[in-house]
Amino acid sequence: MEHVALKSDIRRLLKERNAVLLAHNYQRDEIQEIADITGDSLALSQEAARSKADVIVFCGVHFMAESAFILAPQKTVLLPRIDAGCPMADMVTAEQLRAWRVGHPGAVVVTYVNSSADVKAESDICCTSGNVVNVVRSIPDSAEIFMVPDRNLAQYAARMTGRRLSWWDGYCPTHERLTPADIQAARAAHPGAPVVVHPECRPEVVAMADAVLSTAGMYSWCAKSPASEFVIGTEMGILYKLRRENPGRKFHLAARSLVCPNMKLTTLEDVRESLVTLTPAVTVPEDIREKAVSALEAMIRIPRDA
């Protein structure tokens, strides 16, 4: 089917199923265009919990659909591509985290939302890239803090708070590909354009940026900035909304390598098929869900960083 027909069919099915279509900021342009709501993983999960829809169609990756189910277990949560995973989330397991805790009784485990439900269930509090600094600041100074799974986000939090942290050796393969040489080349190609990067980037890249922000933070920062051009250091999907919301401004990807293959798996055809069959559905065992929701709710009480 052509895109126009597919989109029309999807909108019809959404209405028939009393479903809402959520799309992460890194999804394909055509997915974001048809979505009811776009945003980062946590914001979308919160929207899922607030929605009156019976069915949540989550265009993202597996841990995101899990988070939506954790917060809204009474709803059917569909992930159109069940093979859309997150390499960083897969870099740590609940068993590994439990083993670490044995040697560190009393430590506070801060887990990035980019993690499996099983890992969240073994954590004290979750964090997002938008509130990680405030989460770390909320922890007593005397506490040992251990962050999983993203070493780059942990080092960013340590730098911003002055706190001593330790961390798991995980990373986002997409953001890890962005190098200082890429930033230097982008600055040379677009002189005067502020460089805005995600805190999942390497510390040496973060140190070169004019602003270090979550995807939600990038949208608001760029909207308020007087600049007419920007260099953006995160997954290319963010460019769709930045360009749509800021007509007349130019947004340049910091490197052509900033493409997440997992985020690009979901197609309009996948969304339609998911609505027709009401599969694949993502669930979390109740014992895991109860533990994981505690860590998520502790995070939700912490405001985003300024």
Global confidence as pTM? 0.95
> In this structure, are 138 and 201 located in the same domain?
no
> In this structure, are 183 and 167 located in the same domain?
no
> In this structure, are 205 and 246 located in the same domain?
yes
pLDDT digits (tens, 9 = 90+) for 107-151: 999 999 999 999 999 999 999 999 999 999 999 999 999 999 999
3-state secondary structure (DSSP) of residue 294: helix
In the predicted model, what is the mean pLDDT of residues 165-170?
98
CATH number at residue 238: 3.40.50.10800
Q: How many CB atoms lie within 10 A of CB 152?
A: 22
The whole domain housing 166 covers 89-171+288-300
Q: Which two tokens stand for residue 179?
A: 């190098």
Dist. CA 19–CA 21, nearest whole Å: 7
pLDDT digits (tens, 9 = 90+) for 212-225: 999 999 999 999 99
> In this structure, are 187 and 57 located in the same domain?
no
pLDDT of residue 48: 86
Q: Which two tokens stand for residue 271?
A: 């969304």
Amino acid symbol at 215: T
> In this structure, are 157 and 184 located in the same domain?
no
Number of folded domains that form the chain: 3
Residue 142 belongs to some domain of the structure: yes
Residue 1 has pLDDT above 80, yes or no: no
pLDDT digits (tens, 9 = 90+) for 14-71: 999 999 999 999 999 999 999 999 999 878 888 988 999 999 999 999 999 999 999 9
